[in-house]
């Protein structure tokens, strides 16, 4: 049987009128709640397309199921797994990266701009607002609800223009305040839609990164730092090209990833979120005609900075999105490093270096009862790949726009939440996987004891120091392609013409003690990682 959904879960005809609103935004908040779920299809005219391979009985059964338990099916009918299967793990992004979030920040920008106009002395038509009027306008922002967003969507059905719908909504909303009602036409004054949108997108990204993404990234880095310190002295056989190599410690290998991720995390934190507010083609054309005595570039800079964004003075119609490209490229690099970690840990689990703590009731394989699969790291790797695909397109496409502006960025920008959402999902999977890991020191030690050939490196290096001819060649003849044992290594060392003290030190070496400065590198990882 084949089932092809003809519409997404979010159908306006099926959307019930919500009774709750989202909490106010706060840049200091580390979490965010989003108290509505994807709506059911009750009362919706949309219907799934059932292929001709489906029997009539199957069709009837499917349609019957959809009408009998629609609330349960809301997650099942979402086209994106982020809005269905994985909703519970990514929903804290929804207040920022959803359509609701975009509309909310548009409303915020429009109101803040009206308030800014009231503070410009030359614009006498918009006198300074009273405390009551300012409080009323702030209340529209703080009390903005899903009902308000749905009302704007209904207006958009008529205007066929999303930003104009916000303007009309605000004019309707503010008619009840006598003071604001006198200046309704100054909503969206001298603005192009992109003036509103680019600031909304900047705020969406800044809040999503600061409130949701950075805290989870920091948890990963902190977890790796803890793993590094806890296992600083746990010796481990290295593998280069998949073959036994000079030993390291498990802690030091975890420290490498902590430092790499921390470096990218720092790069991400230094990205400036830019905004423009210069009108239709970036020259303040309409502004200057209406109020020639106002220093509009200065006003625009003050306004953009008041929102917590950095000002971009040289733009066409759009903000040129270069900072977004930088942000998404840095996210891709963070994700690539995490893919490397996921694959390494997957391999260590395969070698038996890690055991995985099991959970009662969980099943690893539908046919092999013994299996405990590394599914968290596999899930993370897969979602990081999906994320990077989307983020790569965003970073490559967004800085390119024909002449002063084309509309290709608009539809692409609506997908920012996809790449970020799959990244968040992956981060949480990695953290879940780390929480299940249990070091198997016996297995680590077993591998080291079987690889005495790794001591060929220090022996030939000491031989070089003391002038023994052809040291590399002699060790190559002893070890390459041959079984090397503790006894054969000791016999070779005993026969060397080097000082007794040097010979004694070599005889003390074992595969598990030949780890160089690995212990200290692992112990000092937090200083190196420079956690933010």
The 10 Å CB-count burial string (b at 16+, else e) for 9-21 is bbbeebbeebeeb
91-135 residue pLDDT tens: 999 999 999 999 999 999 999 999 999 999 999 999 999 999 999
Tell which wins on pLDDT, 433 or 482.
433
Catalytic residue among 6, 241, 366, 370: 241
C-alpha span between 25 and 112 (Å, rounded):
15
Q: What is the pLDDT of residue 57?
A: 57
Q: Taking the chain, what is the end-to-end CA distance rounded to the nearest angstrom?
A: 52
Q: Where are the alpha helices (DSSP H) in 118-176?
A: 131-142, 146-159, 162-173
Whether 158 is covered by a domain: the verdict is yes
- Residues 14-30, mean pLDDT to the nearest whole number: 40
| Domain finish residue from 388, 417, 441 | 441
- Residues 76-101, mean pLDDT to the nearest whole number: 92
- For residues 269 and 407, membership in a common domain is answered with yes
- For residues 385 and 336, membership in a common domain is answered with yes
Whether 435 is covered by a domain: the verdict is yes
Whether 390 is covered by a domain: the verdict is yes
Question: How many other CB atoms are found less than 10 A from the CB of residue 270?
Answer: 9
CATH of the domain at 509: 1.10.40.30
**Max Cα–Cα distance, the chain, nearest Å:** 101
Whether 151 is covered by a domain: the verdict is yes
Q: What is the pLDDT of residue 25?
A: 40
Q: Is the pLDDT of residue 412 over 50?
A: yes
- Residues 257-272, mean pLDDT to the nearest whole number: 96
- For residues 472 and 423, membership in a common domain is answered with no
- For residues 347 and 215, membership in a common domain is answered with yes
C-alpha span between 342 and 376 (Å, rounded):
9
Q: Is the pLDDT of residue 487 over 60?
A: yes
- For residues 116 and 158, membership in a common domain is answered with yes
- For residues 230 and 320, membership in a common domain is answered with yes
User: In which band, very low, low, confident or very high, does the pLDDT at 360 lie, cut at 50, 70 and 90?
Assistant: low
| Domain finish residue from 391, 424, 441 | 441
- For residues 126 and 178, membership in a common domain is answered with yes
Whether 396 is covered by a domain: the verdict is yes
Q: What is the pLDDT of residue 37?
A: 31
User: In which band, very low, low, confident or very high, does the pLDDT at 407 lie, cut at 50, 70 and 90?
Assistant: confident
- Residues 166-192, mean pLDDT to the nearest whole number: 97
Q: How far is CA 293 from CA 102, 191, 290, 298, 530, in A?
A: 33, 18, 9, 12, 49
- For residues 131 and 270, membership in a common domain is answered with no
C-alpha span between 112 and 203 (Å, rounded):
13
* Active site annotation includes 28: no
CATH of the domain at 260: 1.20.200.10
Q: Are 301 and 314 in contact (CB under 8 A)?
A: no
Report how many domains make up the chain.
3
Catalytic residue among 365, 410, 423, 488: 365
Q: Is the pLDDT of residue 380 over 50?
A: yes
- For residues 237 and 326, membership in a common domain is answered with yes
Q: What is the pLDDT of residue 370?
A: 62
306-353 residue pLDDT tens: 999 999 999 999 999 999 999 999 999 999 999 999 999 999 999 999
Whether 505 is covered by a domain: the verdict is yes
Q: Are 166 and 287 in contact (CB under 8 A)?
A: no
* Active site annotation includes 393: no
Q: Is the pLDDT of residue 156 over 60?
A: yes
CATH of the domain at 137: 1.10.275.10
C-alpha span between 207 and 192 (Å, rounded):
24
Q: What is the pLDDT of residue 76?
A: 77
Distance of CA 455 to the CA centre of its chain: 43
Q: Are strands 3-4 and 49-50 parallel, antiparallel or unpaired?
A: antiparallel
The least confident of 312-321, 404-413, 514-523 is: 404-413
Q: What is the pLDDT of residue 404?
A: 93
- Residues 190-206, mean pLDDT to the nearest whole number: 97
- Residues 466-476, mean pLDDT to the nearest whole number: 92
- For residues 215 and 131, membership in a common domain is answered with no
- Residues 503-525, mean pLDDT to the nearest whole number: 96
| Domain finish residue from 441, 473, 498 | 441
Q: Is the pLDDT of residue 13 over 80?
A: no
- For residues 186 and 215, membership in a common domain is answered with no
- For residues 224 and 337, membership in a common domain is answered with yes
Tell which wins on pLDDT, 486 or 482.
486
Whether 201 is covered by a domain: the verdict is no
Q: How far is CA 166 from CA 162, 181, 317, 506, 525, in A?
A: 7, 16, 19, 77, 50
Structural domain harbouring 144: 99-191
Q: Is the pLDDT of residue 246 over 60?
A: yes
- The share of the chain scoring above pLDDT 70, in percent, equals 83
Q: Is the pLDDT of residue 241 over 50?
A: yes
Q: Is the pLDDT of residue 63 over 60?
A: no
Whether 184 is covered by a domain: the verdict is yes
Q: What is the pLDDT of residue 368?
A: 62
266-293 residue pLDDT tens: 999 999 999 999 999 999 999 999 999 9
Q: Is the pLDDT of residue 220 over 90?
A: yes
User: In which band, very low, low, confident or very high, does the pLDDT at 371 lie, cut at 50, 70 and 90?
Assistant: low
- 311 dihedral zone (left: phi>0; alpha: psi -120 to 50; beta): beta
* Mean of all residue pLDDT scores within the chain: 87
């Amino acid at each position: 049987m084949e089932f092809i959904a003809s519409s997404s879960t979010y159908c306006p005809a099926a959307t019930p009128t919500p009774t709750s609103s989202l909490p106010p935004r706060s840049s200091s908040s580390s979490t965010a709640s989003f108290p509505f779920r994807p709506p059911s299809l009750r009362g919706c005219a949309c219907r799934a397309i059932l292929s001709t391979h489906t029997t009539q009985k199957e069709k009837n059964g499917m349609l019957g199921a959809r009408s009998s338990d629609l609330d349960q099916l809301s997650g099942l009918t979402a086209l994106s797994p982020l809005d269905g299967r994985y909703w519970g793990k990514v929903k804290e992004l929804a207040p920022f990266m959803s359509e609701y979030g975009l509309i909310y920040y548009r409303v915020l920008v429009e109101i803040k701009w009206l308030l800014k106009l009231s503070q410009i002395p030359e614009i006498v038509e918009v006198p300074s607002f009273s405390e009551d009027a300012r409080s009323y306008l702030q209340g529209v922002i703080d009390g903005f609800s899903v009902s308000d967003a749905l009302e704007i969507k209904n207006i958009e059905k008529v205007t066929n223009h999303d930003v104009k719908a916000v303007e009309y909504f605000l004019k309707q909303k503010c008619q009840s305040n006598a003071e604001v009602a006198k200046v309704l036409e100054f909503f969206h004054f001298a603005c192009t839609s992109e003036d509103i949108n680019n600031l909304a997108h900047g705020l969406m990204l800044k809040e999503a990164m600061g409130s949701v993404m950075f805290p989870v990234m920091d948890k990963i880095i902190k977890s790796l730092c803890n793993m590094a310190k806890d296992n600083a002295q746990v010796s481990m056989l290295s593998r280069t090209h998949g073959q036994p190599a000079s030993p390291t410690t498990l802690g030091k290998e975890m420290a490498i990833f902590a430092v790499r991720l921390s470096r990218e995390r720092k790069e991400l934190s230094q990205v400036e979120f830019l905004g423009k507010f210069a009108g239709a083609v970036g020259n303040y054309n309409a502004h200057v005609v209406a109020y020639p005595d106002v220093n509009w570039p200065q006003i625009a800079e003050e306004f953009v900075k008041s929102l917590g964004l950095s000002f971009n003075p040289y733009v066409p119609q759009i903000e040129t999105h270069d900072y977004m490209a930088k942000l998404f490229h840095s996210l891709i690099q963070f994700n690539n490093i995490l893919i490397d970690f996921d694959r390494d840990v997957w391999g260590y689990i395969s070698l038996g270096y890690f055991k995985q703590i099991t959970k009662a009731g969980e099943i690893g394989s539908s046919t092999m009862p013994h299996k405990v699969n590394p599914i968290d790291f596999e899930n993370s790797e897969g979602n990081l790949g999906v994320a990077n695909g989307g983020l790569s397109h965003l970073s490559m496409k967004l800085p390119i726009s024909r002449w002063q502006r084309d509309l290709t960025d608009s539809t692409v920008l609506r997908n920012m939440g996809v790449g970020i959402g799959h990244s968040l999902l992956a981060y949480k999977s990695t953290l879940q996987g780390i929480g299940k890991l249990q070091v198997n020191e016996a297995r680590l030690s077993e591998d080291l004891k079987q690889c005495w050939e790794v001591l060929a490196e220090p022996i030939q290096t000491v031989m070089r120091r003391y002038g023994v001819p052809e040291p590399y060649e002699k060790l190559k003849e002893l070890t390459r392609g041959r079984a090397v044992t503790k006894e054969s290594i000791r016999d070779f060392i005993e026969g060397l013409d080097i000082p007794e003290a040097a010979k004694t030190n070599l005889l003390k070496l074992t595969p598990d003690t030949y780890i160089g400065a690995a212990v200290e590198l692992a112990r000092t990882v937090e200083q190196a990682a420079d956690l933010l």
